[in-house]
Amino acid sequence: MTATLTAKARALLERPVIANVATVDGAGRPQITPVWIDVEDGAVVFNTARGRVKDRNLAVNPSVAVSVVDPDDPFNVVVVRGTARAVEEGANAHIDRLARKYMGLDEYPMRQPGEVRVKYVLEPDAIPMQPAD
Number of domains the chain contains: 1
- Within 8 A by CB and 6+ apart from 114, the residues are none
Predicted local distance difference test score (pLDDT) of residue 4: 93
Whether 24 is covered by a domain: the verdict is: yes
Please report, for the domain that includes residue 104, its CATH number. Answer: 2.30.110.10
- The whole-number pLDDT of residue 105 equals 97
- 118 within domain boundaries: yes
The whole-angstrom separation of Cα 119 and Cα 92 is 8
Comparing CA positions, the residue from 67, 68, 81, 77 lying closest to residue 123 is: 81
Structural domain of residue 75, as residue ranges?
A: 7-129
If pLDDT is split at 50, 70 and 90, which confidence band does 89 have? very high
Q: Is residue 22 part of a domain?
A: yes
Instruction: Quote the Cα angle for 108-70-77, to 5°.
Output: 115
Going by pLDDT thresholds of 50, 70 and 90, the confidence category of residue 123 is confident
* 1 domain-assigned: no
Q: At residue 63, does pLDDT exceed 90?
A: yes
In a domain, 2, yes or no: no
Q: pLDDT (tens digit, 9 = 90+) per residue, 25-60?
A: 999 999 999 999 999 998 999 999 999 999 999 999
- Under 8 Å CB-to-CB from 29, ≥6 apart: which residues? none
- pLDDT band (50, 70, 90) for residue 69: very high
Q: What is the pLDDT of residue 101?
A: 98
State residue 37's pLDDT score.
97
Radius of gyration, CA atoms only, the chain? 14
In the sheet with 43-49, reading across from the earlier edge strand, the strands are 30-36, 18-24, 63-70, 73-87, 117-129, 43-49, 38-40
